[in-house]
């Protein structure tokens, strides 16, 4: 029990918090607008979509899996609700159709991964193209505009000055954090990431848990997609494609092991926030987007290298003791 408390903050968490604070301070001192309430709210508004998708991905990665189709699932769900909305269906029904499609995407992924047992990388690489294809066929490659204003609430409305999607992000995060820490399923997700075979033999219904994580991930992508459709009042097949790599990077930056078994939602949110802040600060100061890529890349590499160094030192100490 004592050891558990000691490990409450791992070294990685401290480093991550340090990097976060540093960037935050740089932002505060480099532009007077950075710390304005308005900018912070718009920062959260911009990062919500990516954050929600990254949280879904975190679950899948924790089980030792991977969902490369996350980006195109988002695009497909966006196109589905876009089509429904422009065909005159109600907001509720359109969202329902979109979520339904997401669940279907999740089921397809989990059948491939959990039942046919194709490596997740390969399975979702296939479905990635497949979902994009479906979205392209449905939308004819065009961007769907003319989204009715009644749908704008999701991405453009504010509750008590706070953007709705930011509130949604926090609610979903809280829900997932509690799920991972307090429920059996949460424990099983970590266990499977640590050792799939041992989990299976110890009686965890791995197939069921895998279905759960992949479906949740797809639904999160769907939520992200609908927020973006509402925010930019347009739906396109390629909407989430640019998100995937950034989201995976944020998950890794946030301390979730790419092999599964350790990490969590809070880290992912900090990871996404770091990326969003870098972009925001550079835009506010007026630095070209090329530098944004460079800065984001260097921070990712630095933190990952740092983690590795710590890990190796730990290992050395242990082996010496032995």
CA-CA distance, 142 to 162, in Å (whole number)?
A: 32
Other C-beta atoms within 10 Å of 173: how many?
17
Strand partners of residue 156: none
Q: Which two tokens stand for residue 171?
A: 């609610």
- Taking the least distance from each CB to other proteins, the nearer of 202 and 293 is 293
CA-CA distance, 180 to 212, in Å (whole number)?
A: 12
Least distance between other proteins and beta carbon 271 (Å): 15
Are 55 and 223 spatial neighbours (Cβ–Cβ below 8 Å)?
no
Are 275 and 296 spatial neighbours (Cβ–Cβ below 8 Å)?
yes
Least distance between other proteins and beta carbon 184 (Å): 37
- Taking the least distance from each CB to other proteins, the nearer of 33 and 187 is 33
Separation of CA 146 from chain center = 28
- The residue ranges that bind other proteins (CB under 8 A) are 15, 18-19, 22-23, 26, 30-31, 33, 36, 38-39, 42, 45-46, 49, 143, 145-146, 152, 156, 228, 231-234, 236, 238-239, 241-242, 279-295, 298-299, 302, 306
Question: What distance, in Å, lies between the first and last C-alpha atoms of the chain?
Answer: 24
Least distance between other proteins and beta carbon 243 (Å): 9
Least distance between other proteins and beta carbon 200 (Å): 39
Are 299 and 278 spatial neighbours (Cβ–Cβ below 8 Å)?
yes
- Taking the least distance from each CB to other proteins, the nearer of 156 and 262 is 156
- Taking the least distance from each CB to other proteins, the nearer of 38 and 321 is 38
- What is the torsional sign of CA 122, 226, 138, 244? negative
Least distance between other proteins and beta carbon 237 (Å): 12
- Taking the least distance from each CB to other proteins, the nearer of 17 and 159 is 17
Least distance between other proteins and beta carbon 161 (Å): 15
Residues in the chain: 322
Residue of 202, 79, 89, 205 whose CA lies nearest to 144? 79
Least distance between other proteins and beta carbon 109 (Å): 24
Residue of 73, 106, 57 whose CA lies nearest to 265? 57
- Taking the least distance from each CB to other proteins, the nearer of 98 and 213 is 98
- Taking the least distance from each CB to other proteins, the nearer of 20 and 170 is 20
């Amino acid at each position: 029990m004592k050891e558990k408390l000691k490990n409450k903050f791992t070294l990685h968490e401290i480093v991550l918090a340090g990097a976060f604070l540093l960037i935050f301070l740089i932002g505060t001192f480099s532009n007077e607008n950075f710390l304005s309430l308005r900018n912070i709210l718009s920062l959260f508004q911009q990062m919500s979509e990516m954050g929600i998708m990254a949280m879904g991905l975190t679950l899948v990665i924790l089980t030792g899996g991977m969902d490369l189709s996350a980006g195109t699932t988002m695009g497909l769900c966006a196109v589905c609700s876009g089509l429904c909305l422009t065909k005159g269906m109600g907001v509720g029904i359109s969202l329902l159709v979109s979520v339904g499609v997401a669940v279907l995407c999740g089921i397809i992924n989990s059948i491939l991964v959990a039942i046919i047992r194709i490596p997740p990388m390969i399975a979702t690489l296939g479905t990635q193209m497949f979902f994009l294809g479906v979205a392209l066929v449905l939308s004819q490659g065009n961007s769907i505009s003319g989204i009715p204003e009644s749908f704008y609430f999701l991405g453009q409305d504010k509750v008590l000055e706070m953007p709705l999607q930011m509130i949604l992000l926090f609610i979903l995060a809280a829900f997932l954090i509690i799920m991972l820490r307090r429920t059996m399923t949460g424990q099983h997700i970590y266990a499977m990431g640590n050792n799939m075979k041992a989990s299976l033999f110890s009686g965890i219904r791995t197939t069921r848990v895998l279905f759960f994580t992949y479906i949740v991930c797809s639904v999160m992508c769907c939520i992200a997609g609908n927020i973006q459709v509402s925010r930019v009042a347009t739906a396109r097949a390629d909407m989430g494609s640019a998100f995937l790599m950034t989201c995976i990077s944020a998950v890794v930056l946030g301390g979730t092991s790419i092999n599964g078994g350790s990490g969590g939602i809070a880290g992912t949110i900090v990871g996404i926030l770091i990326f969003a802040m870098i972009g925001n600060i550079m835009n506010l100061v007026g630095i070209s987007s090329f530098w944004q890529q460079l800065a984001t890349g260097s921070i990712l590499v630095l933190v990952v290298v740092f983690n590795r160094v710590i890990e190796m030192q730990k290992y050395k100490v242990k082996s010496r003791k032995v």
